[in-house]
Amino acid sequence: MNWSELPSLPDPNGFAGPFVGTHNGVLLVAGGANFPDQKPWQGGAKVWYDSVFVLERPDGEWKAVGKLPRPLGYGVSVNTKDGVVCIGGSDTTRHYVDAFVMSWGNGEVKTSPLPSLPKPCANFCGAMLGNTILVAGGIETPSSTSTLKTFWSLDLDSNHPSWQELEAWPGPARMLAVAAVQDRSFFLVGGADLASDANGKPVRRYLTDAYRYQPGQGWTRIADLPRPSVAAPSPAPAFGQSRFLILGGDDGSLVDFKPPERHPGFPKSILDYNTTTGIWKSNGEMPVAHVTTTMTLWNHRFVMPTGEVRPGVRSPAVWAIDYPLLTTR
């Protein structure tokens, strides 16, 4: 795999949890959150954004082109023929049920509403299987001490699309998992569950289990990850007829690292799953690990824009994987 850098976003901090996608040939990055003044260990406040940026060419410059309906981040975004579908998410006070299409045309960005989720949700994952959006897990409120075990679908081919609740996977509830689509199936990989500590604060349990969903056949458990992976870029890049990649992710090994300003960052190791053999293998390392960001396919490259590079610290960098057999099958 050949990694390369695209132009960085025009924000010195970058964002975690942005909505990312492509429409009419351009790359769109919108919303997300960062700590613009002081870092969290210095008492800094987290700020959500409504900015929408567009990159029209890989060698071009990012432009600020509009606003989301509200400051928003940590939702799910997927590409459709009508635009980037943005689902759920959070701001500084609450989580949302809203879904909308973000489209690009005639030099401007527009948004139009879609059916709302059954309940508020953020920190979940999702992907397109055929022309159906599938989303899984997440948390319902900013103060949640438990995760959701919900699996919802939105069939865009329906005359009257509405979110349907499907049978959930057989393992624990989770948030910040990775979704993947490959071999006519949806995959749910890793993530974290939550529980309360003695003070009622949420504590993460890092997960390694993974599942495959086949429409009409339901869920099957696949081989566990070799290590935990939380908030890795999602949906996972898929290539060939039977493989997808888990790019880094937080493995929990550096929880409560001190001092926080010297945190070395998240694992750069790449895990490669083969849907035919059912085996995970190591596939080298990334030049830099980003978490809490969305992957998208643009100009025959999988793009990993902005995201968190260590706790409380984002990066405006935009990285891409150029691989001759890449596909979003």
- The per-residue pLDDT for range 223-276, each reduced to its tens digit, is 999 999 999 999 999 998 999 999 999 999 999 999 999 999 999 999 999 999
Residues 6+ apart with CB under 8 A from 62: 7, 8, 9, 10, 29, 53, 54, 55
Classify domain 2-322 at the CATH superfamily level.
Kelch-type beta propeller (2.120.10.80)
| pLDDT score, position 324 | 58
The DSSP symbol for 261 reads G
Q: How far apart, in whole angstroms, are the C-alpha atoms of residue 68 and residue 13?
A: 19
Question: Hey, what's the torsion of the CAs at 25, 107, 315, 292, to 10 degrees?
Answer: -60
Residue 279: both structure tokens together: 């085996």
pLDDT at 329 > cutoff 60: no
- Region of 203 (left: φ > 0; alpha: ψ -120 to 50; beta: rest) is beta
Over residues 208-225, the pLDDT tens digits come to 999 999 999 999 999 999
Q: How much of the chain, in percent, has pLDDT values that exceed 70?
A: 98
Of residues 326 and 131, the one with the higher pLDDT is: 131
| pLDDT score, position 264 | 97
**Contact present, 230 and 191 (Cβ < 8 Å):** yes
**Contact present, 305 and 20 (Cβ < 8 Å):** yes
| pLDDT score, position 327 | 43
Over residues 17-76, the pLDDT tens digits come to 999 999 999 999 999 999 999 999 999 999 999 999 999 999 999 999 999 999 999 999
Q: How much of the chain, in percent, has pLDDT values that exceed 90?
A: 95
| pLDDT score, position 149 | 98
- What residues does each domain of the chain span? 2-322
Cα–Cα separations (whole angstroms), residue 318 to 62, 86, 143, 284: 11, 20, 31, 19
DSSP secondary structure string for all residues of 2-23: EEEEEPPPSSSS--BS-EEEEE
Which amino acid appears at position 159 of this protein?
N
Band (1; pLDDT cuts 50, 70, 90): confident
Tell me how crowded residue 67 is: count the other CB atoms within 10 A of its CB: 15
Burial code of 170-195, b = ≥16 C-beta within 10 A, e = fewer? ebebbbbbbbbbbbebbbbbbbbbbe
**Contact present, 81 and 57 (Cβ < 8 Å):** no
Of residues 232 and 198, the one with the higher pLDDT is: 232
| pLDDT score, position 323 | 63
Q: Provide mean pLDDT across the span 185-208.
A: 96
